[in-house]
Protein backbone atom coordinates (compact mmCIF):
# COMPACT_ATOMS: atom_id res chain seq x y z
CA UNK A 1 0.00 0.00 0.00
CA UNK A 2 1.34 3.42 -0.95
CA UNK A 3 2.22 5.72 1.90
CA UNK A 4 0.25 8.96 2.33
CA UNK A 5 2.12 12.08 1.31
CA UNK A 6 4.73 13.20 3.82
CA UNK A 7 5.38 16.91 3.33
CA UNK A 8 6.94 19.50 5.66
CA UNK A 9 4.42 19.99 8.51
CA UNK A 10 5.45 23.60 9.00
CA UNK A 11 4.16 24.29 5.47
CA UNK A 12 1.42 21.72 4.92
CA UNK A 13 -1.20 20.91 7.56
CA UNK A 14 -1.67 17.14 8.07
CA UNK A 15 -3.62 15.53 5.25
CA UNK A 16 -7.05 14.27 6.30
CA UNK A 17 -7.64 10.56 6.53
CA UNK A 18 -9.89 9.00 3.91
CA UNK A 19 -12.01 6.91 6.24
CA UNK A 20 -13.54 3.56 5.24
CA UNK A 21 -16.98 4.18 3.79
CA UNK A 22 -16.09 7.73 2.72
CA UNK A 23 -16.18 9.20 -0.79
CA UNK A 24 -13.92 11.96 -2.07
CA UNK A 25 -15.01 13.89 -5.18
CA UNK A 26 -11.68 15.03 -6.61
CA UNK A 27 -10.72 17.17 -9.60
CA UNK A 28 -7.83 15.84 -11.69
CA UNK A 29 -7.22 19.09 -13.55
CA UNK A 30 -6.95 19.50 -17.34
CA UNK A 31 -4.82 16.40 -17.94
CA UNK A 32 -1.13 16.99 -17.28
CA UNK A 33 -0.27 15.11 -14.05
CA UNK A 34 1.97 18.01 -12.99
CA UNK A 35 -1.17 20.12 -12.58
CA UNK A 36 -2.71 17.84 -9.96
CA UNK A 37 -3.23 19.29 -6.51
CA UNK A 38 -1.25 17.66 -3.70
CA UNK A 39 -4.56 16.72 -2.07
CA UNK A 40 -5.53 14.82 -5.24
CA UNK A 41 -2.23 12.92 -5.15
CA UNK A 42 -2.82 12.09 -1.49
CA UNK A 43 -6.26 10.71 -2.35
CA UNK A 44 -4.85 8.56 -5.14
CA UNK A 45 -2.30 7.05 -2.76
CA UNK A 46 -4.84 5.95 -0.15
CA UNK A 47 -8.10 5.13 -2.00
CA UNK A 48 -9.35 1.53 -2.20
CA UNK A 49 -11.68 2.21 -5.14
CA UNK A 50 -11.17 4.79 -7.91
CA UNK A 51 -14.04 5.68 -10.24
CA UNK A 52 -12.75 7.93 -13.03
CA UNK A 53 -14.09 9.67 -16.08
CA UNK A 54 -12.85 9.70 -19.67
CA UNK A 55 -10.78 12.86 -19.32
CA UNK A 56 -8.44 11.57 -16.61
CA UNK A 57 -4.98 10.99 -18.08
CA UNK A 58 -3.82 7.37 -17.74
CA UNK A 59 -0.58 8.56 -16.17
CA UNK A 60 -2.57 9.96 -13.27
CA UNK A 61 -4.14 6.56 -12.66
CA UNK A 62 -0.67 5.08 -12.29
CA UNK A 63 -0.39 7.05 -9.06
CA UNK A 64 -3.03 4.81 -7.50
CA UNK A 65 -1.88 2.60 -4.66
CA UNK A 66 -1.16 -1.03 -5.45
CA UNK A 67 -4.30 -3.12 -5.11
CA UNK A 68 -6.78 -0.31 -5.68
CA UNK A 69 -9.80 -1.20 -7.82
CA UNK A 70 -10.15 1.12 -10.80
CA UNK A 71 -13.51 1.61 -12.53
CA UNK A 72 -13.97 3.53 -15.78
CA UNK A 73 -17.14 5.64 -15.78
CA UNK A 74 -16.51 8.01 -18.65
CA UNK A 75 -19.29 10.01 -20.26
CA UNK A 76 -18.60 11.23 -23.81
CA UNK A 77 -21.13 13.15 -25.86
CA UNK A 78 -22.72 11.15 -28.68
CA UNK A 79 -21.17 7.86 -27.57
CA UNK A 80 -22.48 5.00 -25.42
CA UNK A 81 -21.77 6.06 -21.83
CA UNK A 82 -22.74 5.03 -18.32
CA UNK A 83 -25.86 6.72 -17.04
CA UNK A 84 -25.28 9.19 -14.24
CA UNK A 85 -27.66 7.13 -12.10
CA UNK A 86 -25.40 4.09 -12.55
CA UNK A 87 -22.31 6.07 -11.53
CA UNK A 88 -24.09 7.37 -8.45
CA UNK A 89 -25.13 3.85 -7.50
CA UNK A 90 -21.59 2.54 -8.00
CA UNK A 91 -19.91 5.04 -5.69
CA UNK A 92 -22.62 4.58 -3.05
CA UNK A 93 -22.34 0.78 -3.25
CA UNK A 94 -18.55 0.87 -2.95
CA UNK A 95 -18.76 3.16 0.07
CA UNK A 96 -21.31 0.90 1.73
CA UNK A 97 -18.80 -1.95 1.43
CA UNK A 98 -16.54 0.07 3.71
CA UNK A 99 -14.12 1.01 0.96
CA UNK A 100 -12.33 4.34 0.63
CA UNK A 101 -13.79 5.69 -2.61
CA UNK A 102 -12.18 8.25 -4.90
CA UNK A 103 -14.43 9.69 -7.60
CA UNK A 104 -11.85 11.23 -9.92
CA UNK A 105 -13.04 13.73 -12.48
CA UNK A 106 -11.22 15.71 -15.15
CA UNK A 107 -11.02 19.42 -14.36
CA UNK A 108 -13.03 20.43 -11.30
CA UNK A 109 -15.87 18.25 -9.99
CA UNK A 110 -18.19 21.22 -9.52
CA UNK A 111 -17.60 22.91 -12.91
CA UNK A 112 -19.65 21.00 -15.50
CA UNK A 113 -18.48 17.79 -13.84
CA UNK A 114 -21.78 16.56 -12.35
CA UNK A 115 -20.14 16.63 -8.95
CA UNK A 116 -23.18 18.34 -7.50
CA UNK A 117 -25.42 15.48 -8.63
CA UNK A 118 -23.08 12.93 -7.11
CA UNK A 119 -22.84 14.89 -3.87
CA UNK A 120 -26.65 14.96 -3.68
CA UNK A 121 -26.76 11.19 -4.18
CA UNK A 122 -24.27 10.75 -1.34
CA UNK A 123 -26.32 12.99 0.95
CA UNK A 124 -29.44 10.93 0.23
CA UNK A 125 -27.52 7.72 0.95
CA UNK A 126 -26.02 9.25 4.12
CA UNK A 127 -22.48 8.66 2.84
CA UNK A 128 -19.87 11.13 4.15
CA UNK A 129 -17.90 12.87 1.42
CA UNK A 130 -15.20 15.46 0.81
CA UNK A 131 -14.73 17.83 -2.14
CA UNK A 132 -11.23 18.39 -3.55
CA UNK A 133 -11.29 21.10 -6.25
CA UNK A 134 -9.17 20.84 -9.38
CA UNK A 135 -8.09 23.19 -12.16
CA UNK A 136 -11.02 23.49 -14.54
CA UNK A 137 -10.02 23.21 -18.20
CA UNK A 138 -12.04 26.30 -19.13
CA UNK A 139 -9.60 28.48 -17.22
CA UNK A 140 -6.42 26.38 -17.25
CA UNK A 141 -6.35 25.57 -20.97
CA UNK A 142 -6.65 29.20 -22.12
CA UNK A 143 -4.12 30.35 -19.50
CA UNK A 144 -1.56 27.81 -20.70
CA UNK A 145 -2.22 28.97 -24.27
CA UNK A 146 -1.52 32.60 -23.40
CA UNK A 147 -5.15 33.67 -22.98
CA UNK A 148 -5.90 35.27 -19.60
CA UNK A 149 -9.47 34.94 -18.33
CA UNK A 150 -9.55 38.62 -17.39
CA UNK A 151 -7.49 41.74 -17.87
CA UNK A 152 -8.31 45.27 -16.76
CA UNK A 153 -8.12 46.44 -20.37
CA UNK A 154 -10.52 43.88 -21.87
CA UNK A 155 -13.19 42.65 -19.44
CA UNK A 156 -14.61 42.83 -15.93
CA UNK A 157 -16.25 39.39 -16.08
CA UNK A 158 -15.97 36.09 -17.90
CA UNK A 159 -18.70 33.59 -18.73
CA UNK A 160 -18.23 29.82 -18.49
CA UNK A 161 -20.87 27.96 -20.49
CA UNK A 162 -21.58 24.36 -21.49
CA UNK A 163 -22.37 24.03 -25.18
CA UNK A 164 -23.85 20.54 -25.28
CA UNK A 165 -27.40 21.80 -24.54
CA UNK A 166 -27.46 24.31 -27.36
CA UNK A 167 -30.49 23.12 -29.34
CA UNK A 168 -33.92 24.72 -29.43
CA UNK A 169 -35.38 28.22 -29.43
CA UNK A 170 -34.91 28.78 -25.70
CA UNK A 171 -31.24 27.78 -25.92
CA UNK A 172 -30.73 30.11 -28.88
CA UNK A 173 -32.22 33.00 -26.93
CA UNK A 174 -29.95 32.18 -24.00
CA UNK A 175 -26.86 32.30 -26.24
CA UNK A 176 -28.01 35.61 -27.69
CA UNK A 177 -28.39 36.99 -24.16
CA UNK A 178 -24.86 35.89 -23.25
CA UNK A 179 -23.49 37.57 -26.36
CA UNK A 180 -25.33 40.78 -25.47
CA UNK A 181 -23.33 41.07 -22.22
CA UNK A 182 -20.22 41.86 -24.25
CA UNK A 183 -18.12 39.74 -21.91
CA UNK A 184 -15.79 36.93 -23.09
CA UNK A 185 -17.42 33.50 -23.23
CA UNK A 186 -15.53 30.25 -22.60
CA UNK A 187 -17.31 27.21 -23.98
CA UNK A 188 -17.04 23.61 -22.82
CA UNK A 189 -18.39 20.69 -24.87
CA UNK A 190 -19.54 22.95 -27.70
CA UNK A 191 -18.18 21.40 -30.91
CA UNK A 192 -21.33 19.47 -31.82
CA UNK A 193 -23.53 22.59 -31.62
CA UNK A 194 -21.00 25.18 -32.71
CA UNK A 195 -22.96 26.28 -35.79
CA UNK A 196 -26.02 27.15 -33.70
CA UNK A 197 -23.99 28.85 -30.98
CA UNK A 198 -22.03 31.04 -33.38
CA UNK A 199 -25.20 32.06 -35.23
CA UNK A 200 -26.81 33.02 -31.92
CA UNK A 201 -23.75 35.01 -30.85
CA UNK A 202 -23.91 37.00 -34.08
CA UNK A 203 -27.64 37.65 -33.63
CA UNK A 204 -26.88 38.70 -30.06
CA UNK A 205 -24.67 41.49 -31.26
CA UNK A 206 -21.13 40.13 -31.29
CA UNK A 207 -19.05 41.37 -34.19
CA UNK A 208 -18.00 38.80 -36.81
CA UNK A 209 -14.45 40.00 -36.13
CA UNK A 210 -14.57 39.08 -32.44
CA UNK A 211 -11.35 37.16 -31.63
CA UNK A 212 -11.79 33.45 -30.94
CA UNK A 213 -9.57 30.49 -30.14
CA UNK A 214 -9.97 26.73 -29.89
CA UNK A 215 -7.82 24.62 -27.58
CA UNK A 216 -8.19 20.89 -28.20
CA UNK A 217 -6.74 18.16 -25.95
CA UNK A 218 -5.23 20.76 -23.65
CA UNK A 219 -1.95 19.88 -21.87
CA UNK A 220 -1.58 16.60 -23.78
CA UNK A 221 0.84 15.67 -26.56
CA UNK A 222 -2.14 15.97 -28.94
CA UNK A 223 -2.89 19.57 -27.97
CA UNK A 224 -3.85 21.83 -30.86
CA UNK A 225 -4.60 25.55 -30.74
CA UNK A 226 -6.42 27.43 -33.49
CA UNK A 227 -6.60 31.23 -33.46
CA UNK A 228 -9.47 32.65 -35.48
CA UNK A 229 -12.42 35.03 -35.33
CA UNK A 230 -16.10 34.43 -34.64
CA UNK A 231 -17.23 34.45 -38.28
CA UNK A 232 -14.61 31.82 -39.18
CA UNK A 233 -14.86 29.71 -36.04
CA UNK A 234 -17.00 26.90 -37.44
CA UNK A 235 -15.05 26.71 -40.70
CA UNK A 236 -11.68 26.66 -38.93
CA UNK A 237 -12.80 24.02 -36.44
CA UNK A 238 -13.79 21.77 -39.35
CA UNK A 239 -10.84 22.51 -41.62
CA UNK A 240 -8.44 21.73 -38.79
CA UNK A 241 -10.35 18.54 -37.88
CA UNK A 242 -10.65 19.68 -34.27
CA UNK A 243 -11.91 16.95 -31.94
CA UNK A 244 -13.24 16.88 -28.41
CA UNK A 245 -12.30 17.60 -25.73
CA UNK A 246 -11.98 21.22 -26.69
CA UNK A 247 -12.33 24.58 -24.99
CA UNK A 248 -13.46 27.50 -27.13
CA UNK A 249 -12.80 31.13 -26.18
CA UNK A 250 -14.81 33.94 -27.75
CA UNK A 251 -14.01 37.54 -26.89
CA UNK A 252 -11.25 40.12 -26.69
CA UNK A 253 -9.15 37.95 -24.39
CA UNK A 254 -8.65 35.43 -27.22
CA UNK A 255 -6.81 38.10 -29.19
CA UNK A 256 -4.22 38.51 -26.44
CA UNK A 257 -2.61 35.17 -27.33
CA UNK A 258 -0.98 36.74 -30.38
CA UNK A 259 1.10 38.89 -28.03
CA UNK A 260 1.50 36.77 -24.89
CA UNK A 261 2.23 33.36 -26.41
CA UNK A 262 5.36 34.59 -28.13
CA UNK A 263 7.05 35.21 -24.78
CA UNK A 264 5.79 32.19 -22.89
CA UNK A 265 8.03 29.29 -21.93
CA UNK A 266 6.58 25.99 -23.08
CA UNK A 267 5.32 23.68 -20.29
Dist. CA 211–CA 230, nearest whole Å:
6
Q: What is the DSSP string of 198-238?
A: HHHHHHTT--TT-EEEEEESTTSTT-EEEEEEGGGHHHHHH
Instruction: Determine whether 52 is exposed, middle or buried from the number of CB atoms within 10 Å of its CB (0-12, 13-18, 19+).
Output: buried
The one catalytic residue in 53, 57, 105, 108 is 53
**Could you confirm whether 53 is annotated as catalytic?**
yes
The backbone torsions φ and ψ at residue 133, rounded to the nearest 5 degrees and listed phi first, read -60, 160
The one catalytic residue in 18, 105, 108, 189 is 189
**Could you confirm whether 39 is annotated as catalytic?**
no
Rounded to a whole number of angstroms, the CA Rg of the chain reads 20
Dist. CA 125–CA 147, nearest whole Å:
42
Dist. CA 137–CA 197, nearest whole Å:
20
**Could you confirm whether 96 is annotated as catalytic?**
no
Among residues 189, 216, 207, which one has the least CA distance to residue 252?
Answer: 207
Where in the sequence numbering do the catalytic residues fall? 53, 75, 189
Amino acid sequence: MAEPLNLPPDIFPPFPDMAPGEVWLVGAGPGDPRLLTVMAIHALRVADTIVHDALVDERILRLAREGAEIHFAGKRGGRPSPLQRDINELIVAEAKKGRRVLRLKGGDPFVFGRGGEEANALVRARIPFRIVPGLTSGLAAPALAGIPATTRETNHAVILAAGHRAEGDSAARAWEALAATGQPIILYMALAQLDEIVAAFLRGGLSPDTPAAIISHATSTDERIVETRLSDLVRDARSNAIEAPAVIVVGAIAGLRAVLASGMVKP
